[in-house]
Amino acid sequence: MTAYTATVTVRLKRGVLDPEAETTRRALERLGFELAGLRSADRFDIDLEAEDADEAADRAEEMAERLLANPTIHDYEVAVAEK
């Protein structure tokens, strides 16, 4: 078994309103920053033991499907690195 860190990034699908990001964007603009857009995402770094990187990615993907992301409104991506 090898120790891996799986990074799961969960973001809202295009077209889903993101009031938190909109608020952050406006607050930055009020501070004088110029920006063309802002999107927010949740990132989870998960340490796990697996036989290989594929198994680690499969398990992280299942975690995303079952808990970390809501497939109705979220897209997610999984990246795996040896720890």
**39/62 Cα distance (integer angstroms):** 24
- Nearest distance from residue 23's CB to a copy of itself, in Å? 11
By the rule CB under 8 A, 27 interacts with a copy of itself: yes
By the rule CB under 8 A, 22 interacts with a copy of itself: no
- Nearest distance from residue 72's CB to a copy of itself, in Å? 19
Contact between 80 and 3 under an 8 Å Cβ cutoff? The reply is no
By the rule CB under 8 A, 33 interacts with a copy of itself: yes
Could you give the 3-state DSSP secondary structure of residue 33? coil
By the rule CB under 8 A, 44 interacts with a copy of itself: yes
- Using the 8-state DSSP alphabet, how is residue 22 labeled? H
Could you give the 3-state DSSP secondary structure of residue 35? coil
By the rule CB under 8 A, 42 interacts with a copy of itself: yes
